[in-house]
């Protein structure tokens, strides 16, 4: 394959690289153009004649592929690849690659960023003190939120893939008990992991962290019925996929005091509608889908994206999810 004649189009490069990383390695592989964002209306005009597309969240449909006869390769700049019609790509012989496990440690870290924020509320007290509250306090300390020690609490992990496993190991380091809903057999699990049913996990866990893929079976896994089984002192963390949670049901549980708190890095629609009930729900703390976005994780993402393309050029594609 003559790489010099290959046209590469990055559809939405701003998210992965807002300017602190370099596209140079990719540009060495062919004629490369990088767009910050691409709307559906702009797609076909921008990529006409391109052999290679790289996308993060820009959707590539079967119709798009039908209108792009030169397209041979789609590189998804993420682990999840639901933005591409995989069946259509397979039928057309288009290779689709993803980037597995690049953000494992960063996402596990975000789980505990949310959990520690909820249990210690460092940001709240730091802000109060900049306003002079501690300086004017009659006592040597004050607190107006519940403070919780994690040691001895039960962490329920739904899904023990790379990120679920990394999260579980951090939980053990904090002295937590780990209960896991997983397809792995008990003898495959590390010491300290207790396999259990989904019902038992939600009913007994002090913290539930979601790490399962989004499928028809897991859509709205967390719903009103499931939330009713949880302890009112429990905490829900979701750094996986937004639609794992029925957002109105979770908001109702939080507002009615049937759940202590939720820490979420993902929502069902991103960016959310202004009237999303979780934006104003009691003790609901939301970050804007940034668990993956540490500079270290994005650097790995860029490196793997380039290596995926190099392997395609060499005729030995890897991480091909359209096989």
Tell me which DSSP letter residue 94 carries: -
Residues present in the chain in total:
323
- Residue 202 and residue 156: Cα distance in Å, rounded? 7
Catalytic position from the list 241, 247, 298, 300: 241
Residue 139: CB atoms within 10 Å: 6
Q: Taken in order 204, 210, 213, 217, is the CA torsion positive or negative? A: positive
CA distances from 146 to 50, 122, 127, 233 (A): 56, 12, 17, 11
**Catalytic annotation present for 220:** no
Nearest to 241 by CA among 211, 216, 283: 211
Structure tokens at 89: 């790509």
Given 42, 127, 188, 270, the catalytic residue: 270
CA angle centred on 165, ends 163 and 166, rounded to 5°: 65
Would you call 241 a catalytic residue per the annotation? yes
Task: Note if 270 is an active site residue.
Answer: yes
| 64 SS3 class | helix
Residues with Cβ within 8 Å of residue 156, at least 6 apart in sequence: 179, 180, 181, 196, 201, 202, 204, 205, 207, 208, 209
Contact 124, 143 (CB under 8 A): no
Query: Locate tokens 């007994």: which residue?
Result: 204
Which of 289, 303, 307, 310 is catalytic? The answer is 289
CB of 115 within 8 A of CB of 207?
yes
**CA angle 221–226–227, rounded 5-degree value:** 115
- 36's CB contacts (< 8 A; 6+ apart) are 12, 13, 14
Catalytic residue set: 241, 270, 289
């Amino acid at each position: 394959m003559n790489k010099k004649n290959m046209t590469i189009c990055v559809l939405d490069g701003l998210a992965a690289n807002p300017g602190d990383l370099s596209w140079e390695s990719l540009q060495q592989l062919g004629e490369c153009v990088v767009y910050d964002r691409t709307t559906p209306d702009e797609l076909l005009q921008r990529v006409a004649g391109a052999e290679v597309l790289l996308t993060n969240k820009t959707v590539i449909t079967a119709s798009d592929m039908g209108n792009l006869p030169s397209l041979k390769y789609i590189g998804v700049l993420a682990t999840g690849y639901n933005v591409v019609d995989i069946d259509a790509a397979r039928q057309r012989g288009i290779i689709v690659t993803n980037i597995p496990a690049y953000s494992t440690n960063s996402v596990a870290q975000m789980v505990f960023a949310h959990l520690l924020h909820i249990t210690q509320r460092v940001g709240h007290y730091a802000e109060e003190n900049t306003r002079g509250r501690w300086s004017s306090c009659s006592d040597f300390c004050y607190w107006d939120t519940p403070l919780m020690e994690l040691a001895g609490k039960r962490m329920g992990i739904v899904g023990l893939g790379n990120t679920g496993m990394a999260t579980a190991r951090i939980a053990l380091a904090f002295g937590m008990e780990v209960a896991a809903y997983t397809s792995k057999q008990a003898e495959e699990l590390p010491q300290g992991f207790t396999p259990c049913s989904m019902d038992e996990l939600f009913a007994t866990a002090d913290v539930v962290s979601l790490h399962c893929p989004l499928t028809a079976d897991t859509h709205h896994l967390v719903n009103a019925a499931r939330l009713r089984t949880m302890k009112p002192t429990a905490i829900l963390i979701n750094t996986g996929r937004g639609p794992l949670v029925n957002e109105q049901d979770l908001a109702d549980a939080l507002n009615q005091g049937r759940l202590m708190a939720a820490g979420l890095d993902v929502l069902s629609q991103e960016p959310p509608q202004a009237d999303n009930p979780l934006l104003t729900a009691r003790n609901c703390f939301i970050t804007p889908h940034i668990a993956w976005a540490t500079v270290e994780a994005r650097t790995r993402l860029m490196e793997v994206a380039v290596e995926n393309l190099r392997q395609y050029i060499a005729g030995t594609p890897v991480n091909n999810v359209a096989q």
